[in-house]
Amino acid sequence: MENSGKFLWVKQFGSSEFDEGKTLRVNSKNDLIIGGDFSSLIYFDEIPLSSNGITDAFIACLDQEGNTKWAFANGSVKYDACLTLTTDLNNNIYYSGKFQNSISINEKTLYSNGFTDIFLIKYSPEGIIQWSTSYGNSGQDEPFSIISNKMMKFF
């Protein structure tokens, strides 16, 4: 939707099971970044994502016309979800959520210290993972929000 209220486009994504969009941001190129979780199989236009467990986290980038540029899933055999994301001044994406036991991110596996832990992944604007890390203790940990300031500090 434009600032004037003019409707531009609409998209629907989903599978035959549980899907939930939980967070979105628009970067300085007017790309829409979406994060959430899903189970089973979900398509972002022609890009299929398969869940490895109960639910997996997803992240997708759509251009200003609504076309999917890229989409990825991160997860394990347990419950994993994206809960928040933000972008920096260079359009890098910081994508965070919670996971149980372990979560596979590219060639790296993060392990939980308790029930659920927090994952944090930095993606380039092109959807390439720059780094990933986890945080948590023996209890239930989850992020509620992540923001950045003009000095590229994150809170």
Residue 155: inside a domain: no
State how far the Cα of 77 lies from the Cα of 59, in Å rounded to an integer: 18
Handedness of CA 17, 142, 123, 26 (dihedral sign): positive
Number of domains in the chain: 1
Residue 152: inside a domain: no
β-partners of residue 14 are none
Residue 9: inside a domain: no
Residue 112: inside a domain: yes
For residue 2, pLDDT over 80 is answered with no
Tens digit of each residue's pLDDT (9 = 90 or more) over 21-45:
899 999 999 999 999 999 989 999 9
Specify whether the CB–CB gap between 96 and 120 falls below 8 A. yes
Domain range for 27 is 19-135
Tens digit of each residue's pLDDT (9 = 90 or more) over 134-147:
999 998 898 988 88
SS3 75: strand
Tens digit of each residue's pLDDT (9 = 90 or more) over 72-128:
998 888 888 889 999 999 999 999 999 998 888 888 889 999 889 999 999 999 999
Handedness of CA 109, 20, 66, 63 (dihedral sign): negative
Residue 147: inside a domain: no
Residue 144: inside a domain: no
